[in-house]
Amino acid sequence: MKHLTHHSPYTPQESYNITWLRQSIMNLLMNYQSNFFSKNGNTESDILFRVWSCVQYAFDKSKIDVNSGEKESKATSCNNNSNRSLGKRKMHGTRVDLRFMYDGSELGCAEAGRVDEGELGTKEMSESQLKCPKTLRDMFVQLLKKYPDKQDELLTFGFIMMGFSVSVIVMDSPGGSICRITRSPRYSITSDIEAFTYRVLPILKFFLSVKKTMERVIKATITSHVPTPSLGESNNPSIPYSISSTQSSTASSKAASSSKASSSSEETSPSKNPSNSKPLKKQRTAPPSNSTSS
């Protein structure tokens, strides 16, 4: 820690992970100076901003975007509206405290709480065993639809932040039929500054390992090959009007022959239009004679 806090001034050539690690340590040390960890009136937003903001800053120079402020999950919204028709009202998705996104797809979320009641606390049990796993499952399904050939390499991540404790949930589907959840150990930030090196630095190191795993998922999606239909194939069911060149020439010749046949038949057949037929001659009858007998 002494090496990081007494580091040389920042340069553009410096690794961002080193810069993030040094800045995160300084921000956390300021909370010890202000007695933030011993205050009773801290809200959920205060803890998320002053303690766990290092999670957001860790992804500043990566391809992953981290959004805060009760963001709605698009994946859960798609799942809730899977059977929606035009006349039905659209249902909203689950709102999360942090949302991790890449290229329009959701990679994970984070749920925060104000008080740490332990692993058996009501809020932590609700978030870590019900809400977060269901959200991660919906995110995984949407990732699988977008990258179907990378099923074994796809992962979704969930951060559970309760007070000054944190744990991570990782979801995958190695078999292809069900989703599997892997839970990390539960880490806690100590309120004793003398234990900072042994209790806090491992948490920052753990965040870097999670970030590296998420970037590995991104590399897998970059090399994904989604099959695209060929527009020249006549047996493609998705494009019913695409025909090959030979079929089009045959169809045009058939159309030309049928048009010639219809024109010849029109010439030989009598016209049905009464205006073209010759008018009938009217026979004049002589008027009756008015002869008188002599």
Banded model confidence at residue 87, pLDDT cuts 50, 70, 90: confident
Q: What are the backbone angles phi and psi of residue 270, rounded to the nearest 5°? A: -65, 150
As a whole number, the mean pLDDT across the chain is 81
**Range 12-24 average pLDDT:** 86
Residue for token pair 């900072």: 196
Q: Cα–Cα distance between 4 and 23 in angstroms, integer?
A: 9
Return the pLDDT at 10.
58
Note the pLDDT tens digit of each residue in 210-238.
Answer: 999 999 999 999 988 866 666 655 555 55
Note the pLDDT tens digit of each residue in 62-77.
Answer: 999 999 988 899 998 8
Kindly provide the residue ranges of all beta strands, DSSP E only, lying in the chain, ordered along the sequence: 65-72, 95-102, 105-113, 156-162, 165-172, 180-183, 187-188
Residue 251 has pLDDT above 60, yes or no: no
Q: Cα–Cα distance between 150 and 220 in angstroms, integer?
A: 7
Per the confidence metrics, is the pTM higher than 0.75? no
Residue 129 has pLDDT above 80, yes or no: yes
- Of 213, 199, 212, nearest in space to 165 by CA: 199
Identity of the amino acid at 265 = S
Return the pLDDT at 262.
56
Q: Cα–Cα distance between 177 and 40 in angstroms, integer?
A: 46
Could you count the other beta carbons within 10 Å of the beta carbon of residue 260? 10
SS (H, E, C) 194-262: HHHHHHCHHHHHHHHHHHHHHHHHHHHHHCCCCCCCCCCCCCCCCCCCCCCHHHHHHHHHHHHHHHHHH
Note the pLDDT tens digit of each residue in 141-187.
Answer: 999 999 999 999 999 999 999 999 999 999 999 887 889 999 999 99
Work out the burial of residue 263: count CB atoms within 10 Å of its CB; fewer than 13 is exposed, 13-18 middle, 19 or more buried: exposed
Banded model confidence at residue 294, pLDDT cuts 50, 70, 90: very low
**Range 5-20 average pLDDT:** 72
Return the pLDDT at 176.
79
Q: Cα–Cα distance between 172 and 109 in angstroms, integer?
A: 15
CA-based max dimension of the chain:
162
